[in-house]
Chain A
Amino acid sequence: ETGVTQSPTHLIKTRGQQVTLRCSSQSGHNTVSWYQQALGQGPQFIFQYYREEENGRGNFPPRFSGLQFPNYSSELNVNALELDDSALYLCASRGGAGEHEQYFGPGTRLTVT
């Protein structure tokens, strides 16, 4: 039990739609990262938020965006969904710059049809 929760567990969307995925971090963890894990692959870093600002981004287009809130919750938004966006989306939290243990939530399985 990592203390990181995500919702929903599963989601089915149609190509072109928009989706919002949610994550609740451990209390006191002010850094949250989002990852995309395609079937049979390792997780790919999307971006990181620290104290409600994005401070690192992987190789993902701008239609992937995020928000982090003061209550340790965060969102991943994906616009104009494409079939290749079908994946497990994982959020991970850690305590801050001096903390190196990163804890993952159970993920949201997104299917785009």
Chain B
Amino acid sequence: GEDVEQSLFLSVREGDSSVINCTYTDSSSTYLYWYKQEPGAGLQLLTYIFSNMDMKQDQRLTVLLNKKDKHLSLRIADTQTGDSAIYFCAEGSGGNQGGKLIFGQGTELSVKP
């Protein structure tokens, strides 16, 4: 079945890099997403990667995809206190069913000054 798993907590110091990991089970996933959720807010799309890519970089964010191991990671360089939030990875099949995303439980990132 479809399942996405993430570690629940990550704590880093301001200025360090953060790496948030995710594993998924659906080999037919076409797109893999990272969303950020701040307390009491909706989800903010950070970045996404197409399943035939290995890496995508977008400013401070780097996404790595190991399709063989079904492992996705999000690296945040020079982590700031404003990056403290819950980060969700999600998989989707695209196309007409692209609205259906399967989310992990979320990783709570705590950035200490």
Is B113 at the interface (CB under 8 A from chain A)? no
Interface size on B, residues (CB 8 A): 28
Complex Cα distance A106/B42, Å? Answer: 4
Q: How many A-B residue pairs have CB under 8 A?
A: 79
Interface segment, B60-68, B70-78, B99-107? B99-107
Which residues of B line the A interface, CB within 8 A?
Answer: 4, 30-31, 33, 35, 41-45, 48, 50, 88, 90, 92, 94-106
Interface size on A, residues (CB 8 A): 31
Closest to A91 in B: B42
Q: Within A11-51, which residues are at the interface with B (CB < 8 Å)?
A: 31-33, 35, 40-45, 48, 50
Taking a contact as CB atoms under 8 Å apart, the answer to whether A107 and B42 are in contact is yes
Is A101 at the interface (CB under 8 A from chain B)? yes
Is A55 at the interface (CB under 8 A from chain B)? yes
Which residues of A line the B interface, CB within 8 A?
Answer: 2, 4, 6, 31-33, 35, 40-45, 48, 50, 55-56, 58, 90, 92, 94, 97, 99-107
